[in-house]
Structure 1
């Protein structure tokens, strides 16, 4: 059932016992119903706003930094995720990952810094289209409009382009210069970085290239000293945060909902439905 309302109605009527991805805007009403509870897990999921770095103006890192400082992450967390997540810092490595770098300087909403980076790029203002669709993630259109509002004070004029939901991943993602997307994330840093940030990776969604990053990625795979390996992954996160081609405003908690006919043990944080292990590890209460 791709429609969140249909999924929630199916749970409430007893047609199904468990659903994933309930509508976070109305999930508070759902969890107040007798016999229904939420299963919330800090995981590896994150929302993204990839910027194609293989063409102007997004090939200029100052332009990318201006856009990173133009998004109000706290507002995004409150109004789009309704608190079911955590502010992110433009890197796909989450608190659920082993080498998460919690100590990086945080990108926060700062119109003055955004304007500074625009001037460094030789611009007084920026006009840019942002492609979006509810296919990217639930609430993506509202999220784009929030960004449009916060960016105005930064000298950035965002035109929100609502794209058709059908074939969004084929026709928009990795095709349009600036769009919105979603990743479930991966359980290891190497897996996530290799899929989406390594030079030449099939799903390098911003076509980003960084020689230092690529060298560290290869070296870290064979480093057996855990402390040295941690330092390498921290440095990679710092490079991606400051130079990378993707805005990552928030990490997204996995939220499932179930009725009281279902029981389970500890829940994995690498995908929804207990890391897709629901069939093996959940049972009749």
Structure 2
């Protein structure tokens, strides 16, 4: 079997390598941009500003450290990947001109000729290899170390890069679209400066103030002649959702992400604002770190999972702009979603049974902050209230928004988090659940169920029979749902506010803000 990718076409969602991003655009009544306006030819010029509900003073320009939507957009501001996910959820060549594999174990990526870095260097296979090695090298703490650890060997062959994997992975090309893996310039086999902010992207970084703003000017030698239409782009960190919305209403910014569901209807009535909403694989999590008491106890974890009123959270926090979660990260639109897994519901009696069986007594601290998502603090209070019906005492700790992702998430035993989801099951599991990823927010790495889960993910990755693969991923979801420390109560839609003078094509759902590439794909009407 040979898998080929040519420059003029994408891997179909229904093809061998598929994606879980087959979603539709929801257009509220307030959406006033006409089809004709959206179909206009893109125009050059202007300064485009986006206010993001993420970012921290601890952020850096090293892609290995990126977390949050603003950092995803920053990666795509100045950098490119070998491949990218388009608005339809299909994989397209980017810095690679084409790619192919005969066995899903050895992959050959042919690079585009003449692509230029912002420092004047020309892209070569050495840059690709040095970039990937930055994330997989010995001692690397990169967020995607687990993703690239499957690469056994890389080598240059002319203007191509050959990847040899530890085992077959039909979804491997998707991994190379991860925003951490933007290609950086190298010298003598090592990156010139991982924090230099130099890439091949549509904009040159001029200002980087962590937790405040990032500003770029258009790179005139950008290899995509039909992209990066604005003269300047600026990203602002505005954690407070009301402040973001006010900035959009006043015209200080032309787009915002993470519109608060509580105010989306009111915002949509403004004459200068359009609401864009996309169903997505975005999900909100309340991870319990199983390496810390009391969450190292199975019955305690199960008690908390049964003590959550999921529909109440969807109704009161998302106001219906989402759907129920079932304590695993795979959405119902995913190719290998386990539809046979029973939906977990609130059950005070069962929760009390497991809680008493755990032997725990006293309050359980739950750290929350709206840095995780708008309404996270309110969600914590709702969980506290429902848990009381099962005799469980939860103490909500309201954490500061700044530094939340560096000081609380992945450190405190129980906190709030969110994930934008990933195009494939393997990518999602390898990002946050397998035992080799830095971002395993539940620390669920050992034990009979965790061992079986990791073995199943590895087996599914290299399984080329679709029916067998489906069974393996169904088992993986069941294991996470039952034994894992991840409490996933709901999936949320991407809700964005955009000025009416901004035009665009179809909107991607893999990340917020049009795949985090609004700055590259949009233009002023």
> Shorter-chain-normalised TM-score: which range?
over 0.9
How far apart are 1:166 and its partner, in Å?
A: 2.4
The structure 1 residue matched to 2:387, chosen from 120, 129, 151, is 151
How far apart are 1:126 and its partner, in Å?
A: 5.4
Partner of 1:283: 523
Are residue 135 (structure 1) and residue 375 (structure 2) matched?
A: no
Counterpart Cα distance in 2 of 1:94 and 1:238: 13
Show CA shifts across 1:156-187 (max 9, x none).
00011112222222222222211111222222
Partner of 1:182: 418
Show CA shifts across 1:207-265 (max 9, x none).
10301100011111111111211211111011101111111111111111223323333
Are residue 223 (structure 1) and residue 453 (structure 2) matched?
A: no
- Computed over aligned residues only, the root mean square deviation of the Cα atoms, in angstroms, reads 1.7
Are residue 160 (structure 1) and residue 396 (structure 2) matched?
A: yes
Are residue 55 (structure 1) and residue 55 (structure 2) matched?
A: no
Are residue 239 (structure 1) and residue 479 (structure 2) matched?
A: yes
Are residue 119 (structure 1) and residue 359 (structure 2) matched?
A: no
Range with bigger deviation, 256-265 or 99-108? 256-265
Q: Cα gap change, 1:15/1:174 in structure 2, threshold over 3 Å: closer, same or farther?
A: closer
Gaps of 5+ in 2: 1-235
Gaps of 5+ in 1: none
The structure 2 residue matched to 1:73, chosen from 303, 306, 310, is 310
Show CA shifts across 1:19-69 (max 9, x none).
211222111101122342211111121111111111332111111110001
TM-score (norm 1): 0.93
How far apart are 1:192 and its partner, in Å?
A: 1.2
Show CA shifts across 1:79-123 (max 9, x none).
111111111001111134322223311111110110121233245
TM-score (norm 2): 0.52
Q: Which has the higher helix share?
A: 1
Decide which structure has the larger Cα Rg and report it: 2
Counterpart Cα distance in 2 of 1:170 and 1:14: 32
Counterpart Cα distance in 2 of 1:105 and 1:178: 25
Are residue 82 (structure 1) and residue 319 (structure 2) matched?
A: yes
Runs of 4+ in 1 over 3 A off after TM superposition: none
Partner of 1:37: 274
May I ask how many residue pairs the two structures share in their alignment?
284
Partner of 1:105: 342
Partner of 2:47: none
Is the Cα–Cα contact under 8 Å of residues 96 and 269 in structure 1 kept in the other structure?
no
Is the Cα–Cα contact under 8 Å of residues 20 and 273 in structure 1 kept in the other structure?
yes
Counterpart Cα distance in 1 of 2:333 and 2:256: 22
What does 1:9-28 correspond to in 2, within 5 Å?
9-28=246-265
Counterpart Cα distance in 1 of 2:362 and 2:485: 17
2:337 aligned counterpart, secondary structure: coil
Is the Cα–Cα contact under 8 Å of residues 249 and 272 in structure 2 kept in the other structure?
no
Q: Cα gap change, 1:36/1:55 in structure 2, threshold over 3 Å: closer, same or farther?
A: closer
Partner of 2:242: 5
Question: Bigger relative contact order, structure 1 or 2, given CA contacts below 8 A and separation 6+?
Answer: 1
